[in-house]
Amino acid sequence: MARSARFSVFSRGQLAVLALLAATPLLDLAFPSLQLSAPMRTVIVYAIVALGLNIVVGWTGLLNLGMAAFMAIGAYAFGILTSEIYPFQVGFWWGILLAALIGAFAGWLLGAPTLRLRGDYLAIVTLGFGEIVQDGLKNLPAITKGTEGINPLPAPTLLMTELSGETPARWFFVYLAILAAVIFLCRNLEFSRLGRQWFAVREDELAARCMAIEPDKAKLKAFATGAALAAMAGGLYASLLSSTGEPSTYDFQVSILALCIVIVGGIGSITGVLVGAIVMVGLNNVLLPLATQSLQRAGIGSTGNVLSSPDNYKYLLFGLALVLMMRFRPDGLVHSRKAVRR
Amino acid sequence: MTEASLISVRGVTMRFGGLTAVKDVSVEVPRGAITAVIGPNGAGKTTLFNAITGVYEPTEGSVLVSGRDPRRQLTPSVVAGTVLTGIATALFLAALVRIEAHWTAAVLDLHEYQKPFPWGKSAGAFLSSLFGGGLAGTVLPLVVGFALGVAGRLVIWSRTRRTPDVVAGSGVARTFQNIRLFPELSLVENVTVGMDRRLRTGFLPALLALPSALAERGSARAEALKLLEFVGLADKSEEAAGNLPYGHQRRLEIARALASRPDVILLDEPAAGMNPTETVDLMRLIRAIRDQGTTVVLIEHHMRVVMGISDRIHVLQYGEKIAEGTPAEIRSNPRCIEAYLGKEELG
């Protein structure tokens, strides 16, 4: 169906992807050795980052190379707000919510003075911001514990009981529910007045201005919303690790991975971004480690030989995936607005 | 004269480096009429439109809309916003430069020993740390932050005083000579974007799809469909604008401009690239727009269109206005004939 003709909570494609994700714990039941639920939580975390980036890059047309910085801000905000070493201890759910709000504030702070820059210049600012945040976190040990990271951090609570690593399926479903909520919110924005402003600014900024739209305001909202989602994902990631990790966990490669997810999946399409996250992060965090494990079990991959470990080929595969996508499907695996391009 | 004028262009000159594209042009656009601006290619017609709509800032002269300059004024709220931005930036910078010291005073020093955590004491410790940094630790960041915030806000304000969105907000809509639709959006969405000035949905209602947001979305869509019907494109409402044939794209641009319910609509060569049938339809459409009460200004080369529908015509040549009058007057004006056909060679 064409965009905006009718409105439902989820599109068919989004429902299909959510159903697919919901089936992974079943796989665990069938093949207990796989243990997919645990690494699939990471897929969901990156899907949320990429949904945030999709608002900025896909819908508003701004290149943001610093999503990892907002993820780091979210992770550390979650860490500081929930860790036992600090007095706040707000718990998982408030921690996630506040991390998202703090992320939005950070995005707004970065965006307000810089969003008037055009194209590549904005990309450079976001790139620099990513490095500054990493260095800042590293050099504020009194607050962030430097390279140790803040830990331990709480797992999600469900019906007053805290989940643990022993029940990865439940934990996975909590994250999946959060992802579903995020998709719902993104979809609301996509079809709203604000979504239209974003698309208009992306397609033709001058024409949008002549329709009395203020591009600066629309861009700032997109930037802050994207940052909020990245920060929320950062909080979920920290909860999953039970630690904020060290600041370099959120380096440039994370920002690039988020961008790859959006581009490979289908820029501008929520379903596409979800598929992209499953493909890219699934490859990175599920398939490659699994392949390495099984090779080792079969006695082929000796630990000494770097070439025989599939894990070491991941950047080669990412690069290859990008090149192939650009050559054969520049719009991504899932086209945005199929109906419109018909 | 001024009272009845919806737009009055007063002595506008537009210079780009050494080139003077428009020179001391004055045009009064009477309310409720169709005014045409004609002239050979390069006469400065589109530049004049751009100066009116805020794409360019006139080098000299002024443009009034309904007797007022559509420009962001230095209102009390702008001043208050600027001062607040300054204070916020100052506090943010002061907090940031010595954040570890503040954290140690407000959290670490108290937390190690005291349970439950003394929030009031912590806030006090934070404030005394924030303002107790002496000249380098507190005063300098406060001063620099305030200056940065105020200067940044004022620079942005001064640069966006008369941008196209400000002018459009005062009821001036336009189309473009080289069509500027949103090609990947559907027809209905293109028109709805034009309606934006009249929509009120804010961020949170949109995010949560509150009933108010959904209601506005529904009514905006219905209105957009009605406008598409008005310009004769209702059957294609869900197609991508970029896939439309040229003549239809021009109509869609008009619908999008009308969607803001403007007081005046500026049409830049609406008949360009249209075949004779489409042109006749267009003339009917432009008359219908005027009959609805919307003032029309158009740039056009098709003399049949111009002479057929204009109430008043202004002629530009080499950036200067050489004539003004009713179609009949212009048709018999020797300077206009000369501008279009050249001078008769004698002897």
Average pLDDT estimate for B163-188: 94
Residue B53: its chain A contacts at CB < 8 A?
A: 210
On chain A, the residues whose CB falls within 8 A of the CB of B173 are 210-211
Rounded CA separation A114/A124 (Å): 11
**pLDDT in the model for residue A336:** 67
The Cα–Cα gap between A275 and B337 comes to: 65
**φ, ψ dihedrals at B11, nearest 5°:** 55, 45
Residue B230 parent element (H or E)? helix B211-230
pLDDT at residue B336, rounded to an integer: 85
Distance CA B249, CA B78 (A): 39
Whether B310 contacts B36, CB under 8 Å: yes
Which residues, other chains included, contact A326 with Cβ-Cβ below 8 Å and sequence gap of 6+? Answer: none
Q: Who has greater pLDDT, A335 or A61?
A: A61
- Closest CA of chain A from B202, distance in Å: 8
Cα angle B92-B97-B99, degrees, rounded to a multiple of 5: 85
Q: At what angle do helices A12-22 and A168-190 cross, to 10 degrees?
A: 170
| Mean pLDDT within A287-304 | 75
Amino acid identity, position B42: G
CB contact under 8 A, B182 and A204: yes
H helix intervals, A167-251: 168-190, 193-203, 205-210, 215-241
Q: B201 vs A192: CB contact, 8 Å cut-off?
A: yes
Cα B130 to chain centroid, rounded: 43
Question: Hey, what are A332's tokens?
Answer: 């991504």
The minimal CB distance from B221 to the residues A4, A197, A342 is found for: A4
The torsion angles phi and psi of B24, rounded to 5 degrees, stand at 50, 55
Contact A213 B192 (CB under 8 A): no
- DSSP 3-state of A88: coil
**Residue B148's closest chain A neighbor by CA?**
A113
β-pair partners for B36? B298, B313
pLDDT at B127 over 60: yes
- Residue B326 pLDDT > 70, yes or no? yes
**Contact call for A193 and B217, based on CB within 8 A:** yes
CB contact under 8 A, B192 and A204: no
Chain B residues in contact with A196 (beta carbon < 8 A): 185, 189, 192-193, 196
> Would you put residue B346 in left (φ > 0), alpha (ψ -120 to 50) or beta?
beta
Q: Is the ipTM of this complex over 0.85?
A: yes
Q: Give the integer Cα–Cα distance in Å for A70 and B12.
A: 48
CB-nearest to B174 from A192, A199, A210 is: A210
A54 phi/psi in degrees, rounded to 5? -60, -35
B152:A185 CB<8 A? no
Report how far Cα B132 is from the mean position of its chain's Cα atoms.
48
Could you tell me how many residues make up chain B? 347
B338 CB neighbour count, 10 Å cutoff: 13
Cβ-proximal residues to A234 (8 Å cutoff; 6+ apart), any chain: A49, A70, A71, A72, A73, A74, A75, A76, A77, A78, A99, A103, A250
Smallest Cα distance from A210 to chain B, Å: 5
Nearest-by-Cβ selection for A193 from B168, B184, B206: B206
Please state the domain extents for chain B.
1-70+167-171+263-347, 76-159, 183-261
Minimal C-alpha gap between B32 and chain A (Å): 21
Q: Is B192 helix (H, G, I), strand (E, B) or coil?
A: helix
Inspect the interface and report whether the beta carbons of A212 and B260 lie closer than 8 Å. yes
Residues 76-135 of A with CB under 8 A from B: 85-87, 109, 113, 116
Q: What is the average pLDDT across A249-278?
A: 92
Taking the C-alpha atoms of residue B192 and residue A251, their distance in angstroms, rounded to an integer, is: 41
* Amino acid in the structure at residue A106: A
* Range scoring the smallest mean pLDDT among A146-150, A300-304, B165-169: A300-304
Check A86 against B103: CB less than 8 A apart: no
Rounded Cα gap, residues B239 and A338, in angstroms = 11
Looking at chain B, which residue has its C-alpha nearest residue A114?
A: B152
CA distance A2 to chain B (A): 6
Q: Which of B103, B164, B201 sits opposite A206 (nearest CB)?
A: B164
**pLDDT at B244 (0 to 100):** 93
Q: Give me the mean pLDDT over the A96-114 stretch.
A: 95
Distance CA(A174)–CA(A40), nearest Å, equals 12
Neighbouring residues of A167: CB distance < 8 A, sequence distance ≥ 6: none
Task: Report the pLDDT value the prediction gives residue A340, as an integer from 0 to 100.
Answer: 41
- pLDDT range class, residue A300, cuts 50, 70, 90: low
Interior angle at CA A226, CA A264 and CA A47, nearest 5: 40
| Mutate: best of A192, A205, A216, A331, partner B, most B CBs <10 A | A192
Considering the domain A12-295+304-341 in this protein, what is its CATH number?
1.10.3470
Are B268 and B48 a contacting pair, CB within 8 Å? no
Say how many C-beta atoms besides its own lie within 10 A of residue A191's C-beta: 18
| Torsion region of A158: left, alpha or beta (phi above 0 gives left; psi -120 to 50 gives alpha) | beta
* Helix or strand holding residue A24 (H, E): helix A24-30
Please report which helix (H) or strand (E) contains residue B60, including its range.
strand B60-65
For residue B38, what pLDDT is reported? Answer: 93
pLDDT for position A304: 62
CATH class of this structure's domain B1-70+167-171+263-347: alpha beta
Q: Is B212 in contact with B201 (CB distance < 8 Å)?
A: yes
Res B3: pLDDT: 58
Nearest beta carbon to residue B53 from set A86, A193, A210: A210
pLDDT score, position B202: 92
Beta bridge mates, B266: B174, B297
What is the maximum alpha-carbon separation in chain B? 110
DSSP state of B344: P
How many residues in chain A?
342
Return d(Cα A85, Cα A148) in angstroms, integer. 14
Which residue in B55, B163, B208 is closest to A188 by CB distance?
B208
As a whole number of angstroms, the distance between CA B93 and CA A275 comes to: 42
Report the DSSP pairing between strands B312-317 and B320-325. antiparallel
The pairing of beta strand B19-30 with beta strand B5-16: antiparallel
Candidates A193, A201, A221, partner chain B, best to mutate (most B CBs within 10 A): A193
Per the confidence metrics, is the pTM higher than 0.80?
yes
CB atoms within 10 A of CB A237: 27
Q: Which two tokens stand for residue A225?
A: 């919303």
User: Is A39 in contact with A284 (CB distance < 8 Å)?
Assistant: no
DSSP code for B244: S
SS3 state of residue B38: strand
> CB–CB of B197 and A212 under 8 A?
yes
- With beta carbons less than 8 A apart as the criterion, state whether B182 and B257 touch: no
Least confident of A33-42, B18-27, B79-88, B160-169: A33-42
- Domain boundaries defined on chain A: 12-295+304-341
Q: Rounded to 5 degrees, what are φ and ψ at B322?
A: -105, -15
Any CB–CB contact under 8 A between A315 and chain B? no
Q: How many whole angstroms separate alpha carbon A208 and alpha carbon B190?
A: 10
In the prediction, which pLDDT does A258 show? 94
Q: Residue B109: its chain A contacts at CB < 8 A? A: none
Q: How far apart are CA B27 and CA B133, in angstroms?
A: 61
Close Cβ partners of A79 (under 8 Å, ≥ 6 residues apart)? A144, A149, A150, A151, A153, A238, A243, A244
The answer to whether the Cβ–Cβ distance between B117 and A337 falls below 8 Å is no
Do B59 and B14 touch, CB atoms closer than 8 A?
yes
Q: Where are the alpha helices (DSSP H) in A115-149?
A: 119-138, 141-144
> Do A194 and B184 lie within an 8 Å CB cutoff?
no
Q: pLDDT tens-digit profile of B72-110?
A: 988 999 999 999 999 999 999 999 999 999 999 998 888
Please say if the pLDDT value at position B23 is more than 50: yes
Question: What's the whole-number mean pLDDT along residues B59-71?
Answer: 92
Binned at pLDDT 50, 70 and 90, residue A26 comes out as: confident
Report pLDDT for A338. 42
CB within 8 Å: A207 and B176: yes
CB spacing of A196 vs B193 below 8 angstroms: yes
- Residue A303's pLDDT band, with cuts at 50, 70 and 90, is low
Contact yes or no for A114/A215 (Cβ under 8 A): no
Mean per-residue pLDDT, B119-127: 91
- Is B207 within 8 Å of A87 when comparing Cβ atoms? no
Set of chain A residues whose Cβ sits within 8 Å of the Cβ of B192:
196
